[in-house]
Amino acid sequence: MAIVMPLIAALIVLFGLIRGVPVFDSFMLGVRDGARTLKMIAPTILGLVFAVTLLKTSGAVDVICSAVKPVADALGFPSEIVPMALLRPVSGSGSSALLIQVYKDCGADSFAGRVASVIAGSSETTFYATAMYFGCVRVKRIRHTLVAALAADFTAMAVSVIAVRLYFGYNL
């Protein structure tokens, strides 16, 4: 699978050559655009990394988790993966680290490990993506974007548990 990315790059360059495009000139023009885009998203990323680091090191995640855990238990949501599910919308690297923790504690093929995998595979870092995409065009009023995005995240979490139970034949 590691070949997909380089292969796509090569195919695009090849297609450009066949169509008679001055590929290297085009490439350099594009790189200039890329550098400009980074300048637009840099403040957003700095702000988010700052907030997420604070959240992780201060123990605030534990506080929120202990508040959410009783609810999760009542709904049949494995309590081992509550921290990972909570951090998922905010931080990709943070939730990956917690995903690995679940694998180490419970095993990758355990119920908790499978549910955590499905959540990781079917959701994205919502706040990060939203802030970055709107930050790059300086749009401030994002209307109901977060409402819809968080509804999707919540659906992914709920459906993950149900899908894993049905697919692997656990008791509902």
Site for other proteins in 64-103 (CB under 8 A): 90, 96, 99-100, 103
By beta-carbon proximity to other proteins, the closer residue of 32 and 74 is 32
Q: How far is the CB of 74 from other proteins (least distance, A)?
A: 21
Contacting residue, 70, 75, 104, 170, with other proteins by CB under 8 A: 104
Binding of residue 19 to other proteins (CB under 8 A): yes
Q: Which DSSP state fits 154?
A: H
By beta-carbon proximity to other proteins, the closer residue of 74 and 141 is 141
Contacting residue, 78, 131, 169, 172, with other proteins by CB under 8 A: 131
**Amino acid (one-letter) located at 119:** I
Q: How far is the CB of 28 from other proteins (least distance, A)?
A: 7
H or E element in which residue 72 lies? helix 60-74
Between CA 127 and CA 51 the distance in angstroms is 12
Between CA 42 and CA 132 the distance in angstroms is 9
117, 167 Cβ separation under 8 angstroms:
no
